[in-house]
Amino acid sequence: MSLLWRYVLSGLLPRLALSLLALCGLYLVFDLGDQGRRAAAQLGWAVVLEATLLRLPLIAVQVLPAALLAAAALWIVGLRRGGELEALRAAGLRPRQLAMPLLAVGLVAGVSSFSVLELLVPRSEQAADVLLGAHRSPLTGLGQAGAWLRQGRWLLERQTDGSVLALELDARGRALRRVRGRVAASGDALVGARVIALGERMGRRREVARLPLPGLREALALWRAPRAEALSWRELAALVSARARAGQGRPAEVLVLHAKLIYPLVNVVLALFAVGLLIGTRRRGSGAELWRAAGALLATWALLAASWSLARAGLLSAAAASWGALFAAITCAAAFALRRGSKG
């Protein structure tokens, strides 16, 4: 490793670790506010704190881009206050030569975020859900009773009491039979099923001790699926495909799928903003750089949030909203860096 890279990493990584620790702490303080007190009243603080610790990997991934930009801004402010940038220029080294190590840190942060999201977050989030008894996502509504699924010629709906309501359809989509019963232990049939004939034989009723139901096992897997946030990208992609085949596609679920790829790349976008701060004009108040860093962070989050809101409203597709917002953020960051570099 060259002396230049060691110089950048020695100044940036300690600040990144401290920023990440501080932001995770702030996140936990807010997370354990009213919501934590309500959960503790039912489950006890020991369970709530254990679940919170299990969610630290996801929290760290969520705040890492902000921590990276904060660390870079603090490091740049330190360079300017200490006169190190002027010393580097006197030695024939331009600030833009520090940009490559800074971008490399952003890229490593992005790869690390994706690795944590794939390997660690699914297990830790599902373990936390078990402790808290959470089976639904506030973002997508996964696991909600009352969602109809299409499995072959059957329409299936899970009832709030745990039973299953099924409608058998003919080739034209007309209902032939209405069945309601409880799921057998094997998961492929209904027991104690009450069958009501529809259509031409409407009104005929009978009780069936055991009624095999095609697609019931697959429907149960969809109903019992973990939250979208608690799945790896590959698992969530399989779930999205299965729900689409069952006629239950959810835009919010597809957004989470794209976010698992987009979110790690935000580290690279903010590292590019940090490059713009680094290669800007020589004489600039340190407070101005901190405000610029905060503005870049808020603008990036606002852009992503706005695009995802448009997708949730059906005005944009999930792919267009997610990748369009990322492209716009990268374009803004590159323009900022080029503009600052032209003035430096």
CA 325, distance to chain mean position in Å, is 15
The rounded distance, in Å, linking the Cα atoms of 265 and 114 is: 9
CB 208 within 8 A of CB 166: no
**Burial of residue 323, with CB atoms counted within 10 A of its CB: 0-12 exposed, 13-18 middle, 19 or more buried:** middle
Q: What average pLDDT score do residues 160-178 get?
A: 83
Q: What average pLDDT score do residues 220-234 get?
A: 83
Q: How confident is the model at residue 262 (pLDDT cuts 50, 70, 90)?
A: very high
What is the reported pLDDT for 287?
67
pLDDT tens string 191-211? 888 888 887 667 678 888 888
CB 102 within 8 A of CB 12: yes
Secondary structure (H, E, C), 199-235: HHHCCCEEEEEEEECCCHHHHHHHHCCCCHHHCCHHH
The rounded distance, in Å, linking the Cα atoms of 87 and 278 is: 15
What is the reported pLDDT for 143?
46
Range picked from 129-143, 216-230, 296-310 for highest mean pLDDT: 296-310
Range picked from 9-18, 40-49, 77-86, 135-144 for highest mean pLDDT: 9-18
pLDDT tens string 11-32? 899 999 999 999 999 988 887 7
Q: Is 151 helix (H, G, I), strand (E, B) or coil?
A: strand
What is the reported pLDDT for 144?
47
Sheet arrangement for strand 164-169:
148-151, 154-158, 164-169, 175-183, 189-197, 205-212
Q: Which helix (H) or strand (E) holds 137?
A: none
Strand partners, 164: 158, 181
Statement: residue 145 has pLDDT above 50: no
CB 72 within 8 A of CB 274: yes
CB 226 within 8 A of CB 125: yes
The model carries a pTM of 0.78
CB 301 within 8 A of CB 291: no
For the record, the structure tokens of 62 come out as 């969520």
What is the reported pLDDT for 285?
53
Q: What is the DSSP string of 36-72?
A: HHHHHHHH-HHHHHHHHHHTHHHHHHHHHHHHHHHHH
Q: What is the number of other CB atoms lying within 10 angstroms of the CB of residue 164?
A: 21
